[in-house]
Structure 1
Amino acid sequence: MSTGEAGRDRGADGRPLWLLEPGDEVKRKELHDRYGGSRQGGISKCAKSPNVLVFTDPSTGHQHGYYDEWAEDGTFHYTGEGQTGPQSLGSTGNAAIRDHVELGLALRVFEGSRGVVTYVGQFAVDPADPYSYGKAPGTGGGPLREVIRFHLVQVGATAPQSAVPVGTDYRTADESVTPAAPQFTPPDPDLAGRNLGAHRRLQNALAEAARARGLEVFSPRVTDPDFDLGWRASADGLTVCEVKSLTESNETRQLRTGIGQLLDYHDRLRGRAADVRAVLWVEREPADPRWVALCARAGITLAWPGREDDVLD
């Protein structure tokens, strides 16, 4: 992170100007030395500059019940601070995110929490739907407690298409997770009841089959669309996969949803890899055989357990 010529990297008020662009990497120590804020924790309100620095890191966050993810509506759901007991909007970090617009502070999101971190970009709390409450375990698999999930929308520029690699180390899906209580809006079939466990078993089994063939298996980064898993056989080509459980009653809906998601993922990733393949992996062979040909016409490989060779070789 270059500070430029003396005086040119500070505003009229003497505070440091923001110099990072989406996709830039920086040591967390240097980041706080320049802009202020605590070097520990996921939410850091800065005294030296008008910023709130927010860090998301699945490799460390999941052990504390922090499950950050992109939602279907395009907002980024970020879990508030507090490792045990119910989270409160009154805590310093959570209040800083909630009130950042009113306080005149920019919300800066980073991927990673230690060592070198990657700047994702500037975000803002969704004014129409700023946050929701959910359930998550406490630190170390403690009892379920209430957590806050802030709904963040990206502001301004995103990382250049080729600036950030696709995927990070594969995160094994928790097959024993309990689905959330039903909502008034129709839920995604894969997030309710028996389908959640079936979905995650399918996903983990496919990941293991890919590893057994020597493929590099990965999960999405914060800067990636929210595919279920992917694998890479070479530096230039990658495959992204959407997994769907199927029942007689939801088959058509699930297949339509999966196709739409994969078309979106493929379009968003094609500028970041020379060759992107899309796979729709389902629980069983669809009752209607037309889906295989329909997917093929859309550039998607439709397959199910027993047809691993179709997608992994």
Structure 2
Amino acid sequence: MVHESYVVPGEKLNNAELCEAFGCSPQGGMRRAHKTNTLVIVSNHIKSIYDDRWLEGVLHYTGMGTKGDQSLTFQQNKTLAESGSNGVTVHLFEVFKDQEYTYVGEVVLESKPYTETQDDEQGKPRKVYVFPLKLVSGDRLVEKQESRQCRECPFSQS
């Protein structure tokens, strides 16, 4: 199995490669992997009801739950909210092209989650939790940058 440490920022993976590298589920925006003690979060910029946005180097990432008010104690919202103390490493991927996941890097909470109103999947206003996340490396690669391929990954293409 490919380990997540072989994935480098800017690298583009398909869903199967992402799941192989992190040992996570093939679906969802927040994918917990107990085997690797990681949480993979996906910010999909092409098809999503969530209003994820970068502001001054911080990703304001909307929590889990597509209908009705979100809860901070619900599934991976709780994992992400407690990521500063639960030992789980959080990895961010962004989607700008269908079925292509661009690895951004490891992220940590910049500050406590806050609430705001966003529409749910039925277009009804509801309370969501927003997680301010910053990159551990401090640098965000732009989405148009050429992918740097991982030399040691068996699925890399030169």
Fold-level similarity (TM above 0.5): yes
Q: Which runs of 5+ in 2 are unaligned?
A: 146-158
CA RMSD of aligned residues (A): 2.2
TM-score normalized with structure 1 length: 0.43
Identity %: 26
**Match of residue 156, structure 1, among 130, 137, 147:** 137
Q: Which runs of 5+ in 1 are unaligned?
A: 4-15, 167-313
Contact 2:13–2:100 under 8 Å retained in 1: yes
Query: What is the distance in 2 between the residues matched to 1:152 and 1:159?
Result: 12
**Match of residue 53, structure 1, among 23, 40, 53:** 40
SS at match of 1:119: strand
Partner of 2:51: 67
Provide Cα deviations, 1:25-63, integer angstroms capped at 9, x if missing partner: 1111121123222111100111221211000012211xx
**Match of residue 126, structure 2, among 119, 142, 145:** 145
Contact 1:123–1:154 under 8 Å retained in 2: yes
Query: What is the distance in 2 between the residues matched to 1:57 and 1:144?
Result: 20
Which has the larger Rg?
1
Count of residue pairs brought into register by the alignment: 144
**Match of residue 92, structure 2, among 109, 123, 137:** 109
By relative contact order (CA 8 Å, sep 6+), the higher-ranking structure is 2
Residue 165 (1) aligns with residue 144 (2): yes
TM-score normalized with structure 2 length: 0.81
Structure with a larger share of its residues in helix: 1
Query: What is the distance in 2 between the residues matched to 1:56 and 1:112?
Result: 6
Partner of 1:77: 60
SS at match of 2:24: coil
Q: Which amino acid aligns with 1:59?
A: I
Contact 1:22–1:158 under 8 Å retained in 2: no
Query: What is the distance in 1 between the residues matched to 2:62 and 2:140?
Result: 23
Q: Which amino acid aligns with 2:131?
A: F
Partner of 1:123: 107
Within a 5 Å distance, the mapping from 1:198-217 to structure 2 comes to none
Partner of 2:149: none
**Match of residue 92, structure 1, among 75, 95, 116:** 75
Query: What is the distance in 1 between the residues matched to 2:112 and 2:14?
Result: 30
List structure 1 segments (4+ residues) > 3 angstroms apart after TM superposition: 157-161
Query: What is the distance in 2 between the residues matched to 1:23 and 1:149?
Result: 24
Q: Which amino acid aligns with 1:88?
A: S
CA gap 1:75/1:29 in 2 versus in 1, 3 angstroms: same
Partner of 1:310: none
Structure with a larger share of its residues in strand: 2
Provide Cα deviations, 1:210-265, integer angstroms capped at 9, x if missing partner: xxxxxxxxxxxxxxxxxxxxxxxxxxxxxxxxxxxxxxxxxxxxxxxxxxxxxxxx
Query: What is the distance in 2 between the residues matched to 1:159 and 1:81?
Result: 23
Provide Cα deviations, 1:143-167, integer angstroms capped at 9, x if missing partner: 1000000011110163567xx417x
